[in-house]
Amino acid sequence: MSTYVKKCPECGSKKIFYNKEKGEVICKECGYVIEESMVDFGQEWREFESEGGGGESKRRTGAPMRHTEYDMGLGTEVGRTADLSKLGKERGKFLRLRKWQYRISTAIERNLKLALAELKRVSSFLKLSGSVEEEAARIYRLAVQRGLVRGRSMESVVAGALYAACRRHEVPRTLDELSEASGIEKKEIGRTYRFITRELEIRIRPSNPADYIPRFASALKLSPESQSKSVEILERAQKAELTSGRGPTGIAAAALYVSALMHGEKRTQREVADVAGVTEVTIRNRYKELLDELKLDKELKKVKKKNS
């Protein structure tokens, strides 16, 4: 998978700690800050209406900037109003230029229209929120501006942008889900995702296993109690340094599996594995680590006695 940190680049230690409040990833061994808080990609559009008083002066004219509109409501054109008769020799050049510009811009617009249509399709398939969709559109637009689409299919860049947007908004989807929704291979999405985030210098911190819990839990129809228990387990796992370098989905799946057991809502490893997009083996491994390190086996036995 993608960009969760495995080792400290400074001292090579694997003791890596993830501090959500500060948005930092720190090596416990040498204190090296591996990832700073992310670049501010805050929304361009803000609502000033509700503020009493001075709001009026700040308000923009015209429609809000929406990145999902294919040309943001703006457009550039080589002047139409120039007096052609004054141009003399330059006239031909001017017309050619205008034609060229027209061709290029319509080509870009067509591409953007297509891309945004695809983006909306995939995003509604995954039931993503509007703000994630906006973010993805922004990322895609940036990618186009930097010429990063060249040599890649438009669809894969869209998928990569969506994947990145989801993670920035801490509602991560798995590569498998993106792959299913977009019809692009997992590998390809991962590749373009890595490429565009590197080129655009979009910093994305390692995804937090807890972000996956709500979705997985509801897919498994687990009670809210099990769900919050699994989050608690995850917190303890982080403290025990069980999470760094591991696939976040596997850890989330194992935590859910245990907490379901503890609340008498047994799900098979296979069921959990399927919704989390990992194998039973991975769940078993994480599960075993959780029991060993967090002494959960005692709690489990208590529950078992209760039930018998």
State the residues that interact with DNA by CB under 7 A. Answer: 1-2, 6-7, 9, 12, 14, 187, 190-191, 194, 245-247, 250, 266, 268-270, 277-282, 284-288
For residue 143, the minimal CB distance to DNA (Å) is: 18
Cβ-based nearer residue to DNA, 35 or 69: 35
Q: Which two tokens stand for residue 43?
A: 């929304």
Cβ-based nearer residue to DNA, 92 or 245: 245
Tokens 């599996």 belong to residue: 257
For residue 297, the minimal CB distance to DNA (Å) is: 10
Cβ-based nearer residue to DNA, 137 or 178: 178
Distance between CA atoms of residues 187 and 134, nearest Å:
24
For residue 188, the minimal CB distance to DNA (Å) is: 9
Q: Give the DSSP H/E element, type plus range, for residue 27.
A: strand 24-27
Distance between CA atoms of residues 121 and 109, nearest Å:
18
What burial class does residue 168 get, using C-beta atoms within 10 Å of its C-beta: 0-12 exposed, 13-18 middle, 19+ buried?
buried
Cβ-based nearer residue to DNA, 161 or 250: 250
For residue 131, the minimal CB distance to DNA (Å) is: 27
DSSP alpha helix (H) spans, the chain: 55-58, 90-125, 130-145, 154-168, 175-182, 186-199, 213-219, 224-239, 248-262, 269-276, 280-294, 296-307
Integer distance in angstroms from the first to the last C-alpha of the chain? 41
For residue 245, the minimal CB distance to DNA (Å) is: 4
Cβ-based nearer residue to DNA, 116 or 278: 278
